[in-house]
Chain A
Amino acid sequence: MTELLRRPDGPQIPLAAGGVRGRRPFLTTRRRETTAGWLMSAPVIVLLVVFLVIPIVMAAWVSLSDWNGIGSPFASGVHAVGAKNYEALLTQPGLPQQQLGESLRNNLYYVILVVPVQTALALGLALFVSRRRLTGRGFFRAAYYFPSITSSVAVSILFLYIFGTTGVVNAIIGYLGGGAGPNWFDDPNGLLQMILSGLGVGTAPGALANHGFLGLSWWNWLAGPSVAMIAIIVLAIWTTSGTFMLIFLPAIYAIPSDLTEAAVMDGANGWQQFRQVTLPMLRPALFLVLTLGLISTWQVFDQIYLMSQGNPEGTTLTPAFLSYLTSFGNQQWGQGAAIAFILFALIVVLTIVQRMIISERRTGGAS
């Protein structure tokens, strides 16, 4: 401050950035800031353009071409084939369409099970560890969060062991008198079909078996997650709930304590307090967790590659892994890229739909 006053001849730069408005702009400062601004952003801009924007455009071209992986996709021998790759996946009956259908089904069950459970678990853990008088709070937090920072490779290895035929889970099932336990990663049976056959519906009713969507009969769509997929679902919940717990924590601390105190004064019990005070206050955090969960669960790749490669019988195939397999494995790059863009579109549409539902609820609640 005194520094400022001592230099009446220098340019008067206001202390707060907000004070600029209404003053005559200093042209030289302005120009210097423009140059510096672009220069300082340049490395990030160059990287984003070279390693993100241009690659996406290149992949878009590949998805419309017949490139077979040999030479450059921009060489003269590569032809545009229009939407042929997309048609093979979306409209023409055949193996590509059936595989895409399978992968979408598998991933759908994965999302339906992982997102709600991990969100509820993360919220529960966050509520528990945010208690004011809690001995060992730091320990509990660290324990719940640690799986989140471990690499997917290490966690996959660990779960291959835990869910192995002679592994931890089957040993526990054995102690509890449940017999030998399943061959987790070799069992393609769907959970819902197993339940149905337990109820006496062993074979598909004609209406469900003869009609279908994307190359799969409705009966197959309704199979549920396979036993193998359930092991991967447990892994996902175990690894990510800590991350989302960490998102909930500051939101919980931000709830004014007089709000909860007022609720207690009004005679609200624990559950009422949670429903009426805590949950409404946590809405923004809840939406963030649901959105992030939805986006990331549709991208599951590492665990599939490392644990099952889509087996058994294609019941752990996901669009992300199918895209990789089709391009890098079978050298059908056009189709692989097309799957990636279909997945991209799916994620964008789902995010937009979710936003619309949320904003509708918000305005509905306010009126």
Chain B
Amino acid sequence: MRRRRQARRALLYLVLVVFAVIYIYPFLLEIGTAFKTETDAVAHPLNPIPQQWVTSAFSELAQQDFARWLANSFVVALFVTLGRILFDSMAGYALARLRFRGRNGLFAAIIAVMAVPSVVLLIPTFLVLKELNLFNTYPGLILPLVTDAAGVFIMRQFFLTVHPSIEEAARIDGAGIFRTYWSVVLPLARPALMTLMILSFQGSWNNFSTILVAHSSPSLDTLTTGVGRLVSGQLGAGAQYPLQLAAALAMTIPVAVIFFVFQKYIMRTGEGGIKE
């Protein structure tokens, strides 16, 4: 009996390790190949350790507009994250706490909007940016991504779980609704705001399709569209695997840092979907 249990335990770990290898090994290859020579990358695809370490892929990246793409990605992700945190938490608070006429209708509308598949919005986004003369501008890259119903939903659900006694004490002390929200409610909402911040940063940093349709000027390329252009443009002219994988590695690092720093919050985000 005991030996059978031990055997099963060993089997469980074997399965877990095999899957861990499947999920992690590609990233090890990504790191290793970024420092390989072209011939090395083609000749030894399974070995993540370069025969000879070279950094030519990165110096080549530096000659592209890589620095500009990086800066653009940061600008977009920063403003999208700030915008969503501010607007979504305000609307979420109003929908959870303030009693006003039309609130239920507004909430229903926001739920309906959440159901619109994002890929259907590519042509509409392009059309409206053209009409508003926002095509090929930074606000044009940022505003469509700030538009977000899911974050409102997350914040509303959070505020519903907070006991109202604290804010009501503040209001009795004479604080207005906005003051209560700003100096009492928001500090309380830190866990939910962290979740929203991570989701927004990662979502906008990784976004490809919306940014793709919002600009045509290369000077507005972010990492995703810049590297994307680089990849699809060079497919015909030989693969240049080290260069491509170096680009992939560089754009993964900021998200990886956030992932490891805020792992606690990220691993909790899945729960939001289950409640209600």
What is the interface of chain A, defined by CB distance below 8 A to chain B?
A: 3-4, 7, 10-11, 13, 15-17, 20, 30, 32-38, 40-41, 43-45, 47-48, 50-56, 58-59, 62, 72-74, 125, 128-129, 131, 138-147, 149-162, 164, 166-168, 170-172, 238, 242-243, 246-247, 249-251, 284-285, 288, 292, 295, 298-299, 301-302, 305-306, 309, 320, 323-324, 327-328, 333, 336-337, 340-341, 343-344, 347-348, 351
Interface centre among A129, A131, A247, A343 (most CB of B within 10 A): A247
Overall SS of chain A's interface? helix
Residues of B within 8 A of A52 (CB): 113, 116, 121, 124, 147
Are B172 and A13 closer than 8 Å at their CB atoms?
yes
User: Which of A40, A301, A323 meets B90, CB within 8 Å?
Assistant: A40
CA distance A260 to B168 in the complex (A): 43
Q: How far is the CA of A38 from the CA of B252 in the complex (A)?
A: 40
B127 close to A59 (CB less than 8 A): yes
- B91 at interface (Cβ–Cβ under 8 A)? yes
Question: Which residues of B from 8 to 42 have beta carbons under 8 Å from A?
Answer: 12, 15-16, 19-20, 22-24, 26-27, 29-30, 33, 41-42
CB-based contact B19/A144 at 8 Å? yes
Bound-state CA distance A44–B94 (Å) is 11
Contact indicator A143/B15 (Cβ below 8 Å): no
B residues near A, CB below 8 A? 12, 15-16, 19-20, 22-24, 26-27, 29-30, 33, 41-43, 45-46, 86-88, 90-91, 93-95, 97-103, 106, 109-110, 113, 115-128, 130-132, 143-144, 146-149, 152, 164-165, 168-169, 171-173, 177-178, 181, 202, 205-206, 208-209, 212-213, 223-224, 227-228, 231-232, 239, 241, 244-245, 247-249, 251-252, 255-256, 259-260, 263, 266-267, 269-271, 273-274
A41 & B147 in contact (Cβ 8 Å cutoff): no
Q: Select from chain B the residue with minimum beta-carbon distance to A270.
A: B8
A288 CA to B189 CA, complexed, in Å: 26
Closest chain B CB from A332 CB (angstroms): 11
**Interface CB pairs A-B, < 8 A, 6:** A7-B172, A15-B165, A38-B102, A62-B123, A153-B228, A324-B123
Q: How far is the CB of B256 from chain A (nearest CB, A)?
A: 8
Measured CA separation A38–B99 after assembly (Å): 10
Query: Distance in Å from the Cβ of B127 to the closest Cβ of chain A?
Result: 5
A316 and B116 alpha carbons, distance in the complex (Å): 24
Given A48-B149, A51-B128, A129-B16, also A34-B101 (CB < 8 A): yes
A129 to B260 alpha-carbon distance, docked (Å): 18
CA of A223 to CA of B127 in the docked complex: distance in angstroms? 37
Q: Is the beta-carbon distance between B99 and A149 smaller than 8 angstroms?
A: no
A157 touches B227 (CB 8 A): yes
A55–B27 touching, CB < 8 Å: no
State how many angstroms separate the Cβ of B185 from the closest Cβ of chain A.
Answer: 11
Chain A's closest residue to B152 (CB) is A44
Minimum CB–CB distance from B248 to chain A (whole Å) comes to: 4
Are B23 and A150 in contact, with the CB atoms below 8 A?
A: no
- Residue numbers in B under 8 Å from A299 (CB-CB): 117-120
Give the complex CA separation of A62 and B206 in angstroms: 29
Say yes or no: A247-B273 contact (C-beta < 8 A), given A16-B164, A32-B177.
yes
Q: Judging by beta carbons under 8 Å apart, are B270 and A246 in contact?
A: yes
5 tightest A-B CB contacts, nearest first = A246-B270, A55-B124, A37-B100, A151-B206, A154-B248
